[in-house]
Each structure stands twice: as structure tokens, then as C-alpha cells.
Structure 1
């Protein structure tokens, strides 16, 4: 098994972080372009958001395919194949000239982008010692946030400078470089134990994970947190593109530099999780996310930006804790367990915009914050329930 701090640990972790960076750059490249796409294709803000929503939706659903398949067929080659396919689709997006065509390709891209996130944490669970998993997951999710930042910066700056189609072309070149480095750095699996492809077994594993309250509560926490967090960014772009801010796409893209706080939150979550119960880490992250949401109610731009910095730290701190919790507490079929977590996670991303839209129509951004706090109060309660459940299990084990 790969131990924390070894050369093999850093090589494998770097490969997975680069893969994560590539995946999430592609997922989020359209988000700062939403006002531009709405104008180019003559669609509403909600419809423009579908260029992001359809990708996260198909990504989430496809996790149920790639995760169980990797339990049976292996992990490394599936990650390489799907990353290569996603890069090709990004290239095709740079030539698209219709809104419908963009939605179709973004849906296909979501299917392919699911390959790595469905498998990466399970790969760590197979190959790393338990203490190394906590650290590696935090760094890997930091790669998620860096990818999200970069994709939005590329979309914002290149879109503002050259146009939205050129943003996809630049993204293609970056994706190809990440793919090559990933293939060179990721070691071959040494501890993977394949299982035969048995659809009934796959369904039984999924039912088993969903029936395990230790996992189900973490799924709900991760899914509903992302349900709010990511869609706040979509709605704030329309606030800041309008009067009195009138920010161009390039500056809207820079808003996502606030994700750097999330990178830091993810990186330290593993160390904090070694001293504090992970459900309490989730609760702490959610409370920080609630505080950041309240800060964004200010009309001053610097306080809005500060609010999103706080949001990002809190969200990724909680997310990293929840995802590593799933990896550690799944007793079998780890890839399937991690895939279910990410299914809840990306289903949340895909549906949160629809939930927040009536609040937006009601009171614009103030309404979005009200709707956000209502859901976050629920996830905070769930994290405390998970902590009590953990304590009961520990007490039962000691009895």
C-alpha cells in the first residue's frame, strides 16, 4: 500500500489532481459566459444556465455506470478513455453554432467527464493506506476547486477577448496537456481486486449503500450543500452583470478566484478531520457557508466577494469531509459508494437552479439567500444527526 509522504504518494496524488483539474475546468467553463450565451442564442437566463446544468446532470447520472464498471473492469484505463473522449467533445464545442447542438454536446461531455470523479477516490481507497486517503482526498478536491477556478477564468477572459467558441478551443489544448501528464504519472493499480460484471450485484451494492444511514446522511449533506453553493454563483453573475456593477465576462470569471479559499479548505480538512469528528467538520463547514451567504446581502462589491470567499472555504471544507467519510465507511464496492455520493452531489448542482429560481423571481438576490439558508439549515441538522449516529456506534463497539 502507498504510504503518506512517499514518492509514489505524491506522484499518484499529482496525477489525480491534474485529472480533477481537467475535468472541472471543462464542467465550469460556461458559467461566466452565461450572460454572453443568453444574448448570443437569444435565450433566458434560466435557459442559458442549462449549458451548465445539462453537463452536471449527465455527469451525475453517469457515475452510476462508471463506478460499478470500474469495480469489475479496472480503474486506470476507464479514467484515461473517458478523459480522452471529453477532450474531443470540447474541441467539437468550439465549432458549434446552435443552442440545441451545444446542449447535446454538453450532455455527452457530462457522460465522459464522469469517468474520473466516479473512480478516483475509490482508486485511492484501493492503493493508499488509510491515513494517506484523508490527505489525498483533501488535495484531490483542491484540484476540483482549482479546475473550477481555471475553467471559469478561461471562459471569462477568452470569451470576453475572442468569443465563447474560442474559450472551448483553449480549453481543448489545456485538457490534452493534462491528459498526457495524467497518463505518464498515475501508477498502475497493484491492490485492485476485480469483481465480475453482475448487474444484479451492482444494484444490490447500490441498495446496500443507500440503506446504510452512515452513508445516506453524507450523500444528502453533500448533495444539498452543492444544490445551494454552485447555483448561487450562477445567479450572482446576473446580479453583477447588471447595474450598478456592469461587470464584463472577464471580471465575472475573476469572481471564481474565490474558489482558492475552497482549495485551502479542502487541503486542511484532512488534518482537521484527524482531530475532530468528521460529521462535526461537515457541520462547521455548513455554518461557515451560511455566514458567507449572509455577507453577500451587502450592496458593496467587496463584501459580496468576501462572502463568496467565505462560502467557498466552508463548502469545500464540508464537501471534502463528507466525501472522505464515504470512502472510509463503505464496507464494500467503494467505487459504487463514491459514485452514489457524487450522484447526489451533481444532481444537487443540476436541480438547485430550479429551486432557487422562484426565490430569484420573488426578491432577486435577497430571495436566493433566503432560499439558500432554508436548505443549509437542513444539512446542518443532518450533519449533527450523523455525529450522534457515529457516537452511538462507537459506544456500542466499546460496550
Structure 2
């Protein structure tokens, strides 16, 4: 097993962080381009949001395949091949002739994007000692946020220079260059024990995870929180593209620098988990998200940015804890357990537009805040239940 801060730990963690970074620049690069794509293709706000939703939905579906498959054939080849296909899809998106073909390509890209997230944390669970796993997961999820920031910055900057086509080309080229580094850095697994793949066993594993209440609670927590968090960013682009702000694609891309709050939250999550319980940190993260949502109601741009930064810190704190909780609580088949967490996570993201659109249509951004608070109250209750369960186990032991 790989010990924390050893040379092997740093090499493996760097490789997986780079892979995570590449996944998320591809997933989120179109987000600052949504207002431009809406105008270019003459579609509605909800329609253009499907550029994000179809990718997250197909990503969620792919996790049901890649997670169990990785338990049978290993993790490395899945991560490498799907990253290659991800970069090629971004290049193809640059030449999509119409909105329908754009959505089809995003659906395909979302599917291959699921390869690395489905198995990366399971790879760590196989190879790392527990302290090494907790520290690595925080850094890995911090790379998620950096990838999300960079994809939006790169997409917005290139989009202002040459339109959405330039944004997709820039992201695709960056992905292929990063893949070469990832391929060389990632160590060969030494602790993985393959299992013969069968659909019957895979379904049994997934069913077993869903019947485990502490896993199901973590799945719901991650999915509902992500529904709120990621779709707030979609609707904030529409708010800031209109009067009185009228930000262009580059300016909208810069808004996603607020994700740095999430990078901080996930990076320090390992230290917080050693001081407090994971479940208590989940409660804290949801409360921080509720607070940040309130701050975004400010009419000043600086207040909106502050609120988004607070939200990002809280969300990534919860996400780091919940995903690590799943890897720790799963009784075998960690690949499918981690994959199922991400299924809930990305299905939540794909449904967010349908939940928040009526609030947006009726009350604009204050409506989005109300819709967010309703769901965050639910996740706060779930996190509180996990805390009580964990506390009861500690007392009994």
C-alpha cells in the first residue's frame, strides 16, 4: 500500500489530479458560452442549458458501466482510453454543423468523460493507505474545481476571440497534450484484485450499495447539492449577461474563478476530517452553501462574486467528505460504489435546469435562490442524519 507523502503517492496523486483536471475542462468549457450559443442557434434558455445537461446525464449513465467494468479489468486502461476520446470529441464539437449535432456530440463526450471519475477514487482505495486516501481525495477533488475554472476561462477567452468553435478547439488541443503527461505519470496498479465481470454480479453490487442507508444518504447528499451548485452557475451567466452587468464571454468565464473557494475547501478537507468527523463537516458545508446563496442576492457584482466563492467552498467541502465517505463505507466493490455516488451526482446536475427554470421564469435570480434553499434544507437534514448515525456508532463502540 502507498504511504502518504511518499514518492509513489505524489506521482500517483499528480497523475490523477491531472486526469481530473482534463475531464473537467472538457465538461465545463461550454458554460460561459451558453448565452452566445443561445443567440447563435435561436434556442431558449432551457434549450441551450441542454448543452450541459446531456453531457452530465450521459456521464452519469456511463458510470454504471465503467465502475463495475473496472472491478473486472482494472482502472488504468479505462482512464487512458476515455481521456483520449474526450479530447477527440472536443475537436469534433468545433465543427458541429447545427445545434442538434452539437447535442449528440456532447452526449457522446459525456459518456467517455465518465471513465476517469468512475474509477479514480476506487484506484486510490485499492492502492493507498487510509491517511494517504483522505489526503489524496481532497487534492483530487481540488483538481476538479481547477479543471472547472480553467475550462470556463479557456472556453470564454477563446470564445471571445473566435466564437464557440475556437473554444472547443482550444480545449481539445489542451486535453491531448495533458494526456501524454498523464499516460507517463500514472503508476501500474499493484494491489488491484480483478473479479470476473458479470452483469448479474454488477447489478447485485449496485443493489447492495443502494440498500445500505449510509451510502444512499451520501448519494442523495452529493446529487442534490450538485444540482443546486452547478445550475446556479448556469443561471448566473444569464443574469450577468443581461443589464446592468452585460458581461461578455470572457467576463463570464472569469466569474468561475470563484471556484477557487472550492479548491481551498477540498484541499483542507483532509485536515478538517482529522479534527472533526466527516459527517459534521458535511453539515458545516451545507450551512456554508445556504449562507453563500443568500450573499448572491446582492445587486453589486462584488457581492455576487463573494457569494459564489462562499458557495464553492461549502460545496466542495461536502463533496470531498461525501465521496470519501462512500469509499470508506462500501463493503467491497469500491469501483461500483464510487461510480454510483457519481451517478447521483451527475443525474442531479442534469435535472437542475428543470427544477430551477420555473423559479427563474417567475422571479429571476431571487427565485433561483429560493429554489436552492428548498433543496439545501433537505440536504442539511440528510447530513444531520448521517452525523447522528456516526455519533451513535462511536458511542456504542
TM range (shorter): over 0.9
Residue number in structure 1 paired with 2:66: 66
Residue number in structure 2 paired with 1:349: 349
CA contact (8 A) 2:32 2:237 kept: yes
Question: Matched residues in 1 for 2:104 and 2:369: separation?
Answer: 32
2:387 corresponds to 1:387: yes
Listed one character per residue, the Cα deviations across residues 149-203 of structure 1 (whole Å, up to 9, x for unaligned) are 0110011111011111011111111101111111100100000000001111110
Question: Matched residues in 2 for 1:334 and 1:242: separation?
Answer: 45
Listed one character per residue, the Cα deviations across residues 6-26 of structure 1 (whole Å, up to 9, x for unaligned) are 010000000000000000000
Question: Matched residues in 1 for 2:160 and 2:191: separation?
Answer: 47
Question: Matched residues in 2 for 1:49 and 1:383: separation?
Answer: 29
Residue number in structure 2 paired with 1:326: 326
Residue number in structure 1 paired with 2:104: 104
Listed one character per residue, the Cα deviations across residues 226-257 of structure 1 (whole Å, up to 9, x for unaligned) are 01000000001011000011111100000000
Listed one character per residue, the Cα deviations across residues 293-338 of structure 1 (whole Å, up to 9, x for unaligned) are 0001111111000000100000001100100011111110001000
Question: Matched residues in 1 for 2:180 and 2:221: separation?
Answer: 35
Question: Matched residues in 1 for 2:153 and 2:22: separation?
Answer: 13
Q: CA deviation at 1:93?
A: 0.7
Residue number in structure 1 paired with 2:335: 335
**Residue correspondences, number:** 397
Question: Matched residues in 1 for 2:391 and 2:199: separation?
Answer: 35
2:270 corresponds to 1:270: yes
2:256 corresponds to 1:252: no
TM-score (norm 2): 0.99
- The secondary structure found in structure 2 opposite 1:49 is helix
Question: Matched residues in 2 for 1:394 and 1:283: separation?
Answer: 18
2:143 corresponds to 1:143: yes
Q: CA deviation at 1:394?
A: 2.9
CA contact (8 A) 2:155 2:170 kept: no
- The secondary structure found in structure 2 opposite 1:34 is helix
Question: Matched residues in 2 for 1:97 and 1:259: separation?
Answer: 32
Paired residues for 1:43-192 under 5 Å: 43-192=43-192
Residue number in structure 2 paired with 1:195: 195
CA contact (8 A) 2:273 2:281 kept: yes
Gaps of 5+ in 1: none
Question: Matched residues in 1 for 2:91 and 2:84: separation?
Answer: 11
Gaps of 5+ in 2: none
Residue number in structure 1 paired with 2:279: 279
Question: Matched residues in 2 for 1:362 and 1:94: separation?
Answer: 35
Q: Deviation above 3 Å: which 4+ runs of structure 1? A: none
Question: Matched residues in 2 for 1:238 and 1:199: separation?
Answer: 43
Question: Matched residues in 1 for 2:20 and 2:312: separation?
Answer: 17
Question: Matched residues in 2 for 1:127 and 1:227: separation?
Answer: 31
Question: Matched residues in 1 for 2:162 and 2:227: separation?
Answer: 32
- The secondary structure found in structure 1 opposite 2:194 is coil
TM-score (norm 1): 0.99
CA contact (8 A) 2:72 2:194 kept: yes
Paired residues for 1:8-23 under 5 Å: 8-23=8-23
86-95 or 99-108: bigger deviation: 86-95
Question: Matched residues in 2 for 1:184 and 1:357: separation?
Answer: 44
- The secondary structure found in structure 1 opposite 2:268 is helix
Residue number in structure 2 paired with 1:24: 24
